[in-house]
């Protein structure tokens, strides 16, 4: 548990059971739990191959409950005479089954949706039918966007058009007049309080979105001149995602509360304060990592927001607003678990060298002597000697003084020296700087059946840390230290940063693959020479799916929605991953044409007697069958 820090990032949903498997408790400590390893095997038997994205709808429900409960508690604690109406930013995960489930779970809390673009508005307009829930309309808007949003009021919805650009002001005035409907409007403020971390530039005077204070004042004047100031009801800000520090949350809400009361003083019909997203997720459980963690919990967040707004309104004797937040990451991250298998491994040489002969090349004798002499006292120096001798061996080889078998022997001796040195270095409290890379150099490479670009794009693009660990064999000591290499033929398709007690570590502790002898493990037998070994990536339910790309044409993974029942679980939905035909279609290849091309080539080869009829049929059959198959490797 300590090794993977599962209690730090996994509580209350993920833990380890007595069988050494990861268990999922979708309702936290209030409900039942599922053995993830058994679940994966059961799903594999239903022809759902890995990689497999498992969405636990009960976790989604629990996240919504927790957020609403935190605001309810804060409202009670500070005697806040108003309500909280959260919205889910659709951008975070637009998958239909997820958004529909979210709207259903959010109904008791009148939980709404936020659209950040025109296509997302289309989803929100059609999906959100909860009476009293808000539909926050953000992002760039054109006339069509604005008209659709205004007309949705006639359906009984509460669409609030948030003005983010000065150009949008005349557009809403004109649309309101033309339709004869008073729009509900908001303004997005560019706060001067900056966010922190990777998304910190979402705020500040030069941020991409929002209106500066002079622009907000000009908006008020334009609306007033059009006799529409009563339409302005909401103030919004968003200072960036994954805010790691509660101090930053506080400064922003202080500034926004003042803008809110000033707008009310200017005669706007202020009713809502929308604090945007930013509520962080603890990806590593450290509470200190600037990017991956946060120093507060949901309750601290709700308390600070409610307390600040109440104080600002009380001072001016103004009614408090309905509080809106647009938390996406904090709602959607936990619900999905991506399970994938290990295809093979690559290891550096290990063991004890064969004794050296006097007749062997001097460079080999030197390396052997270095190996023999390694102790706690000289391991650092020995590392430099071994490295130098290995480099010399390669130079001698390049000049023809060392044969290929001699070079192989020298390289192997070098690796064995490194292994011996690493064993000593690991036992030391302080590792010298020049040996820091040794752990990484000596790491095994585990080849995983996954595309980082498709399934964990933030890990590749911005070095985001996601918890990764085996989901079984956790009662066995993991004796290997490894980095992960994905299926793409791109050297960036790897994961070599993992969560650790202190910041990050370059290797992940894993188990050696076990020979497939058809006994022992409960896992299904595979044609591979080893038993299945399953890893999972957690907390990737926000942003990763939609930002994933088709690098090397690895498509969407299979996905299932699991709901806990008193008897076990129910598979609510199966969303099959892309087939080869589908991904090839994205780049304008037609399956029929492709097959025809192969067929014609086989006919020509048959005529010229380069292929037998049997071979040509086998090739065509494999080709045709592959087109309807998953883009990942089948175990």
Q: Which residues define the annotated binding site for substrate?
A: 273-283
The piece of 42-50, 94-102, 321-329, 607-615 that touches ligand PLP (CB under 6 A) is 321-329
> How many CB atoms are located within 10 Å of the residue 370 CB?
26
Find all residues with CB under 8 Å of 344, minimum gap 6, and list them: 447, 513, 530
Q: Which is nearer to ligand PLP, 82 or 328 (CB)?
A: 328
Taking only Cα atoms into account, the Rg of the chain, rounded to an integer number of angstroms, comes to 30
Q: Between the CA of residue 270 and those of 14, 79, 186, 385, what are the distances in Å? A: 42, 20, 9, 73
Q: Which is nearer to ligand PLP, 329 or 407 (CB)?
A: 329
Rounded distance between C-alpha atoms, residue 252 and residue 239, angstroms? 8
Rounded distance between C-alpha atoms, residue 538 and residue 7, angstroms? 13
Give the one residue of 141, 190, 238, 409 binding ligand PLP; rule: CB under 6 A. Answer: 238
Give the one residue of 24, 54, 279, 562 binding ligand PLP; rule: CB under 6 A. Answer: 279
Q: Which of residues 564-623 bind ligand PLP (CB under 6 A)?
A: none
User: Considering CB under 6 A, how many residues would be counted as binding ligand PLP?
Assistant: 17
Give the one residue of 89, 106, 186, 210 binding ligand PLP; rule: CB under 6 A. Answer: 89
In the complex, minimum distance from the CB of residue 410 to ligand PLP, in angstroms, rounded to a whole number: 53
In the complex, minimum distance from the CB of residue 86 to ligand PLP, in angstroms, rounded to a whole number: 10
Check if the beta carbon of residue 339 is closer than 8 Å to that of residue 51. Answer: yes
In the complex, minimum distance from the CB of residue 280 to ligand PLP, in angstroms, rounded to a whole number: 7
Give the one residue of 278, 285, 353, 457 binding ligand PLP; rule: CB under 6 A. Answer: 278
In the complex, minimum distance from the CB of residue 103 to ligand PLP, in angstroms, rounded to a whole number: 17
The piece of 78-86, 126-134, 148-156, 326-334 that touches ligand PLP (CB under 6 A) is 326-334
Give the one residue of 183, 200, 277, 555 binding ligand PLP; rule: CB under 6 A. Answer: 277
Rounded distance between C-alpha atoms, residue 152 and residue 183, angstroms? 10
For residue 612, what are its two tokens? 């037998």
Query: What's the 3-state SS for 62-76?
Result: HHHHHHHHHHHHHHH
In the complex, minimum distance from the CB of residue 196 to ligand PLP, in angstroms, rounded to a whole number: 12
Q: Which is nearer to ligand PLP, 262 or 458 (CB)?
A: 458
Q: Which of residues 135-174 bind ligand PLP (CB under 6 A)?
A: 138
Q: 602: phi > 0 → left, psi -120 to 50 → alpha, else beta; which?
A: alpha
Q: How many CA atoms lie within 13 A of 31 on its CB side?
A: 20
Closest CA to 460 of 492, 490, 487, 489: 492
Check if the beta carbon of residue 374 is closer than 8 Å to that of residue 421. Answer: yes
Rounded distance between C-alpha atoms, residue 426 and residue 376, angstroms? 11
CA angle 33, 504, 286 (to 5 degrees): 55
Q: Between the CA of residue 492 and those of 47, 104, 496, 540, what are the distances in Å? A: 31, 40, 10, 19
The piece of 166-174, 325-333, 436-444, 595-603 that touches ligand PLP (CB under 6 A) is 325-333
Check if the beta carbon of residue 482 is closer than 8 Å to that of residue 507. Answer: yes
Rounded distance between C-alpha atoms, residue 336 and residue 556, angstroms? 14
Q: Quick check: 328 binds ligand PLP (CB under 6 A)?
A: yes
Give the one residue of 57, 241, 336, 459 binding ligand PLP; rule: CB under 6 A. Answer: 241
268-292 exposure pattern, b = at least 16 Cβ within 10 A, e = fewer: bebbbbbbbbbbbbbbbbbeebebb
Rounded distance between C-alpha atoms, residue 195 and residue 252, angstroms? 8
Give the one residue of 168, 282, 326, 496 binding ligand PLP; rule: CB under 6 A. Answer: 326
In the complex, minimum distance from the CB of residue 328 to ligand PLP, in angstroms, rounded to a whole number: 3
The piece of 169-177, 272-280, 418-426, 492-500 that touches ligand PLP (CB under 6 A) is 272-280
The piece of 95-103, 257-265, 273-281, 616-624 that touches ligand PLP (CB under 6 A) is 273-281
Q: Which is nearer to ligand PLP, 329 or 420 (CB)?
A: 329
Backbone angles phi, psi at 324, to 5 degrees: -120, 140
* Strand positions, DSSP E, 111-231: 112-115, 134-137, 158-163, 184-188
> What residues form the annotated binding site?
273-283
In the complex, minimum distance from the CB of residue 618 to ligand PLP, in angstroms, rounded to a whole number: 50
Give the one residue of 8, 82, 159, 276 binding ligand PLP; rule: CB under 6 A. Answer: 276
Backbone angles phi, psi at 599, to 5 degrees: -60, -45
Instruction: Identify the sign of the CA torsion 495, 496, 500, 503.
Output: negative
Give the one residue of 92, 313, 337, 435 binding ligand PLP; rule: CB under 6 A. Answer: 92
Residue nearest ligand PLP (C-beta atom)? 277
Closest CA to 264 of 230, 305, 223: 230
Q: Quick check: 334 binds ligand PLP (CB under 6 A)?
A: no
Give the one residue of 327, 335, 444, 449 binding ligand PLP; rule: CB under 6 A. Answer: 327
Instruction: Identify the sign of the CA torsion 583, 587, 593, 594.
Output: negative
Check if the beta carbon of residue 406 is closer than 8 Å to that of residue 364. Answer: yes
In the complex, minimum distance from the CB of residue 95 to ligand PLP, in angstroms, rounded to a whole number: 15
Q: Which is nearer to ligand PLP, 313 or 542 (CB)?
A: 542
Interaction pattern, residues 102-141, with ligand PLP; x per rule: CB under 6 A? ------------x-----------------------x---
Q: Which is nearer to ligand PLP, 116 or 532 (CB)?
A: 116
Q: Quick check: 541 binds ligand PLP (CB under 6 A)?
A: no
Q: Which is nearer to ligand PLP, 138 or 483 (CB)?
A: 138
In the complex, minimum distance from the CB of residue 464 to ligand PLP, in angstroms, rounded to a whole number: 13
Q: Which is nearer to ligand PLP, 113 or 584 (CB)?
A: 113
Q: Which is nearer to ligand PLP, 110 or 138 (CB)?
A: 138
* Strand positions, DSSP E, 153-248: 158-163, 184-188, 232-236
In the complex, minimum distance from the CB of residue 278 to ligand PLP, in angstroms, rounded to a whole number: 5
> How many CB atoms are located within 10 Å of the residue 552 CB?
16
Q: Which is nearer to ligand PLP, 329 or 481 (CB)?
A: 329
> How many CB atoms are located within 10 Å of the residue 103 CB?
19
Q: Which of residues 395-434 bind ligand PLP (CB under 6 A)?
A: none
Q: 210: phi > 0 → left, psi -120 to 50 → alpha, else beta; which?
A: left
Which residues contact ligand PLP (rule: CB under 6 A)? Answer: 89, 92, 114, 138, 238, 241-242, 276-279, 326-330, 542
């Amino acid at each position: 548990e300590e090794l993977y820090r599962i209690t730090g990032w996994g509580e209350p949903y993920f833990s380890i059971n007595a069988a050494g498997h990861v268990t999922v408790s979708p309702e936290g400590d209030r409900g039942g739990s599922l053995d993830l390893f058994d679940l994966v095997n059961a799903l594999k038997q239903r022809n759902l191959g890995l990689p497999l994205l498992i969405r636990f709808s009960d976790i989604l429900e629990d996240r919504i409950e927790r957020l609403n409960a935190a605001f309810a508690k804060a409202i009670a604690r500070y005697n806040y005479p108003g309500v909280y109406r959260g919205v889910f930013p659709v951008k975070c995960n637009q998958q239909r089954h997820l958004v529909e489930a979210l709207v259903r779970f959010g109904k008791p809390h009148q939980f709404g949706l936020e659209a950040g673009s025109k296509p997302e508005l289309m989803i929100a307009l059609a999906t959100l039918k909860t009476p009293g829930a808000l539909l926050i309309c953000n992002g760039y808007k054109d006339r069509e966007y604005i008209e659709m949003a205004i007309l949705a009021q006639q359906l009984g919805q509460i669409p609030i058009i948030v003005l983010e650009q000065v150009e949008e002001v005349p557009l809403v005035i004109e649309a309101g007049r033309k339709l004869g409907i008073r729009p509900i409007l908001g303004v997005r403020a560019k706060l001067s309080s900056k966010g922190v971390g990777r998304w910190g530039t979402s705020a500040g005077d030069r941020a991409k979105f929002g209106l500066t204070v002079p622009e907000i004042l000009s908006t008020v004047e334009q609306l007033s001149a059009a006799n529409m100031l009563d339409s302005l009801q909401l103030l919004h800000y968003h200072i960036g995602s994954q805010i790691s520090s509660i101090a930053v949350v506080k400064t922003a809400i202080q500034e926004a509360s003042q803008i809110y009361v000033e707008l009310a003083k200017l005669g706007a019909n202020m009713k809502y304060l929308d604090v945007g997203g930013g509520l962080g997720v603890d990806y590593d459980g450290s509470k200190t990592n600037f990017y991956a963690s946060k120093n507060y919990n949901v309750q601290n967040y709700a308390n600070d927001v409610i307390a600040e707004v109440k104080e600002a309104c009380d001072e001016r004797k103004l009614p408090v607003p309905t509080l809106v937040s647009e938390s996406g990451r904090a709602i959607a991250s936990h619900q999905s678990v991506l399970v994938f298998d290990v295809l093979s491994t690559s290891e550096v040489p290990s063991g004890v060298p064969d004794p050296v002969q006097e007749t062997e090349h001097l460079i080999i004798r030197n390396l052997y002597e270095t190996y023999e002499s390694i102790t706690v006292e000289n391991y650092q120096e020995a590392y430099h000697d071994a490295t130098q001798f290995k480099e010399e061996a390669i130079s001698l080889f390049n000049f023809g003084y060392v044969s290929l078998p001699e070079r192989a022997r020298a390289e192997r001796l070098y690796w064995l020296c490194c292994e011996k040195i690493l064993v000593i270095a690991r036992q030391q409290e302080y590792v010298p700087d020049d040996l820091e890379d040794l752990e990484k150099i000596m790491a095994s490479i585990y080849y995983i059946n996954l595309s980082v670009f498709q399934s964990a794009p933030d890990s590749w693009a911005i070095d985001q840390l996601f918890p990764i660990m085996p989901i079984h064999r956790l009662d066995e000591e993991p004796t290997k230290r490894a980095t992960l290499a994905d299926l793409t033929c791109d050297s960036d398709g790897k994961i070599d940063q993992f969560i650790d007690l202190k910041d990050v570590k370059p290797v992940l502790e894993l188990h050696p693959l076990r020979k497939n002898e058809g006994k022992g493990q409960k896992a299904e037998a595979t044609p591979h020479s080893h038993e299945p070994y399953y890893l999972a990536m957690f907390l990737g339910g926000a942003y990763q799916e939609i930002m994933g790309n088709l690098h090397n044409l690895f498509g969407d993974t299979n996905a299932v929605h699991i709901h806990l029942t008193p008897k076990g679980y129910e598979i609510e939905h199966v969303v099959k991953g892309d087939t080869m035909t589908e991904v090839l279609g994205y780049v304008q290849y037609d399956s029929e044409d492709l097959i025809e091309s192969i067929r014609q080539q086989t006919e020509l080869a048959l005529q010229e007697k380069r292929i037998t009829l049997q071979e040509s049929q086998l090739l065509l059959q494999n080709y045709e069958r592959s087109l309807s198959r998953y883009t990942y490797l089948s175990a």
